[in-house]
Amino acid sequence: MCFITASSLSWQERDFCTFRTLIEAAAKMNREEFKSAVLEGIPEQLPPRQERDPEQNHAPRRKDILTPAEKKLALRNALRYIPKQHHAVLVGEFAEELERHGRIYMYRYKPSYAISARSLDEFPHRSRQAGAIMLMLSNNLDQAVAQHPDELITYGGNGAVFQNWAQYRLCMKYLAEMNDEQTLVLYSGHPMGLFPSHREAPRVVVSNGMVIPNYSGQDQYEQMNALGVSQYGQMTAGSFMYIGPQGIVHGTTITVMNAGRFKLKGGDGSLKGKVFVTSGLGGMSGAQPKATVIAGGICVVAEVNPRATATRFSQGWVDEVFTDLDLLSERIKKARKEKEAVSLAFQGNIVDLLEYMLEKNIPVELGSDQTSLHNPFAGGYYPAGIEFEEANRMMAEEPGPFKELVYKSLRRHVKAVNGLVEQGMYFWDYGNAFLLEAGRAGADVFQADGSYRYQSYVQAIMGPLFFDYGFGPFRWVCTSSDPRDLTVSDRIAAEVLEQLAAEAPDDIRGQLEDNLHWIREAEGHQMVVGSQARILYADSQGRIAIAKAFNRAIREGEISTPIVLGRDHHDVSGTDSPYRETSNINDGSAFTADMAIQNVIGDAFRGATWVSIHNGGGVGWGEVINGGFGMLLDGTPEADRRLEGMLHWDVNNGIARRSWARNEGAIRAIEREMERSPLLKVTLPNLVDEGLLEPDD
């Protein structure tokens, strides 16, 4: 079976179903009704019971991990959100949710209105900054954006915005009512309350999954999350900064493109006619096919979840879908011969795909993996050899045998990767804990000295070429939700980059030229899903210059409403992650987390509109500390002052840390920045003559 092709559908046809759904929902509830529903918060009257929508992509049933006493505690914790007169009705309902799903999501309290990134003025608010935050968190829960919207999960299998719908309702009410002299505090999705602060303070401070370090194991996360006291915010899920798969596509594009340039032997560095094989069509991994096409190559991507495949196909993020490996093989040969830029999805298991390619001697130039192995036993990795639905059953009902199947599959997975590498494929770890979990499974991923046989993409590409120089995933969102404002912002950003590239030193001119090409082509690649947003890798100088130009355009009316600035946590300074973002830190400090903690503190008092700090993200709970920010540009002089101070710190903190680790590019970058910024004084390393460290003969 094979169903082809996306090219036969116009974008208008692809988006028609989503558009019709939104129009129908809008007809049911006008703006004033929406505002009233938000301001109601948790209603005094019990809403009607809701069943899960069978057409939605739902989170798998979670492990039954609580003792009988802990289940009572989970119910007690959930009911404290609800007026007491409803407890007798809801105690049984919540107990049923806990039994059936492993969590208490409070489906009854899911609002009846469509959740999406409406324009800023459609949200009820007294504070414009708070209104922008409402827009951003709503985008994370949009049905067209979120992986499991009914379970409040944006991406990565368990990357949550909130733990339950009562938290969502309470947070939206607080945001609607607060003013610019208050700060909303969120503990792992729980709105602790509004506290007096001041206009220069963040409007919201978010923490997710922050637990005592010795209690950060996987089962401890499952227990705390089931109790309703902690959550896994991933990176941009729990910090309200997710912009759909576009959010990672630029970084994926430059990773794949530079893998072709610097890691493939022979040729001109072009990806024309070359194959990149990988897995995953989820919220983050779904960027891989689009990125490969933009880079000019052939992407072959496996996905086990039929709903995820259908979503990415309907949105145009994958061109063709196959369920027959022989037909897929023929299509790969044709694409290679004609040097097509095309993305081909295999609806099935990545292990089956890799083993087939190895057995049939199908040439593969590049390879990676983006299964959600930070969450290997609860929906992040589906083992080969069993059906998708059976895997969902086993992970909840037979977690021990399921874990063994995952590890067995990982051993096969790695064996196939190793075989393809022997045939000439270049493979990298995509920071999804692939090597980490494969090593725990006993797979053949280690060299004789105990190090991994494959590098992460940060070690090999992104670190030395981008992060060390301060380039990272800067992003912005137009709060008008008007595509015309996004078009204007793209043009403004391109004009700024043109000027910077013309004056750039040789060691960063190439990065700037790649980024300039990206922003010029971005609109044509139809990457917007949800909010009117754009991703652009930029350094400190570029981010500040672009933000100033945006603020001026807002002030002068060229852009109609404020813009939200942000970034992925996967950036120069925001994340301490020894298997990903800081994997090219080689002074022994890769497992420390001072940088991420200092970063969020510094952002908070330098003018961020909201800040967040998370345990977990990308590689898993207990494996990373990461943080982020959001900043509203409203055209005012105050916004100019805030953006310059905060963006400068947000990038240069990480460059300073990387330079102290003796990373050559970072040393050059921070020396240049000290010349530009007289108030910046960074401690630089004195490099040691390696001969002095060798023992005398």
Per the rule left: phi > 0, alpha: psi between -120 and 50, beta: everything else, 41 is left
> For the chain, what are the domain ranges?
30-144+162-196, 246-462, 469-690
How would you write 519-533 as a 3-class SS string? HHHCHHHCCCCCCCE
Q: Is the dihedral of CA 471, 472, 478, 484 positive or negative?
A: positive
Question: Given 1.10.340.30, 3.40.50.970, 3.40.630.30, 3.40.50.10730, which CATH number is that of 246-462?
Answer: 3.40.50.10730
Among 246, 71, 227, 67, CA closest to 163: 227
3-state DSSP assignment of residue 418: helix
Q: Tell which residue, 342, 372, 67, has the closest CA to residue 235.
A: 372
Query: Among 191-195, 484-488, 615-619, which stretch is predicted with the lowest mean pLDDT?
Result: 615-619
Residue 284's pLDDT band (boundaries 50, 70, 90)?
Answer: low
pLDDT at 24: 52
Q: How confident is the model at residue 527 (pLDDT cuts 50, 70, 90)?
A: confident
pLDDT in tens, 311-348: 889 988 899 999 999 999 999 999 999 999 999 999 99
Comparing C-alpha atoms, which of 158, 161, 166 is closest to residue 142? 161
pLDDT at 558: 98
CB 221 within 8 A of CB 621: yes
* Residue 482 confidence (pLDDT) above 90: yes
Interval 140-179: pLDDT, tens: 999 999 999 999 999 988 999 999 999 999 999 999 999 9
Q: 530-567 burial, b for 16+ CB within 10 Å, e for fewer? A: bbbbbbbbbbbbbbbbbbbbbbebbbeeebebbbbbbb
Largest CA distance in the chain: 84
List, in order, residues 6 or more apart from 411 with CB less than 8 Å away: 438, 441, 442, 443, 444
Tens-digit pLDDT profile for residues 616-664: 887 888 999 999 999 999 999 999 999 999 999 999 999 999 999 999 9
Residue 474 tokens, joined: 């800067």
pLDDT for res 697: 61
Quick one: tokens of 341?
Answer: 């830029």
Quick check: helix, strand or coil at residue 474?
strand
Can you tell me the distance from the alpha carbon of 670 to that of 285, in angstroms, rounded to the nearest whole number?
A: 32
CA–CA dist 426, 438 (Å, integer): 18
Q: In degrees to the nearest 10, what's the CA dihedral of 630, 634, 635, 641?
A: -40
CA distance 324 to 347: 8
**More confident position, 280 or 492:** 492
Q: What percent of the chain has pLDDT over 90?
A: 79
What is the enclosing helix (H) or strand (E) of 646?
helix 637-660
pTM of the model: 0.89
Q: Domain 469-690 in CATH: superfamily?
A: Urocanase superfamily (3.40.1770.10)
pLDDT reading at 394 higher than 60: yes
Residue 190 phi, psi dihedral angles, 5° rounding:
-80, 120
